[in-house]
Amino acid sequence: MTNLIAKRFVGLGAVLFLLGLFTGFGIPEFTNPRMGLASHLEGVMNGTFLIALGAAWGYVTLSPKLESAAFWLLVYGSFANWAFVTLAAIFGSSEMTPIAGTGYSASPLQEQVVSLGLISVGLTMLAGIAIIVFGLYKRDDV
């Protein structure tokens, strides 16, 4: 299962990297172009993160359940990060992104969607990375 997870991380990372590159072409068309740039960077950086994680996956020692949990948490977190920042750029929301969102505002529903999405990203990425750190420092012989 470990090699399959590693290959999936690399493949999904490449897809996310590609989405980030395509997002870059649309930067001038977003309601908030600065958030469009952030979305482009989120796609490229999170894609690179997933590729690097796939390359380093052989160093992570986890039970099958924790391996699966880490995989889904980090894949969701990486793709959702790009998606919700893209929505923020489209909507012009600013509650969760006060620096990049300065001068923009969206409807209350749009702000709430972006806020809940970005909160979910923070929580899932934190949990996923905590599992990875545990797996990196877990002794193989225990």
8-26: per-residue pLDDT in tens? 999 999 999 999 999 999 9
- Asked whether residue 86 is domain-assigned, the answer is yes
In a domain, 128, yes or no: yes
pTM for the model stands at 0.93
Residue 123 falls inside a structural domain? yes
- Judged by phi (left if over 0) then psi (alpha if -120 to 50, else beta), residue 112 lies in alpha
Give 111's Cβ-side CA count (13 Å radius). 12
8 Å CB contact between 31 and 110: no
Q: Does 52 map to a domain?
A: yes
142 in a domain, yes or no? Answer: no
Number of structural domains the chain divides into: 1
Q: Assess if residue 21 is contained within a domain.
A: yes
Determine contact, residues 6/41, Cβ cutoff 8 Å. Answer: no
State the Cα–Cα distance between residues 26 and 8, nearest whole angstrom. Answer: 27
Per-residue model confidence as pLDDT tens digits over 79-138: 999 999 999 999 999 998 888 888 898 999 999 999 999 999 999 999 999 999 999 998
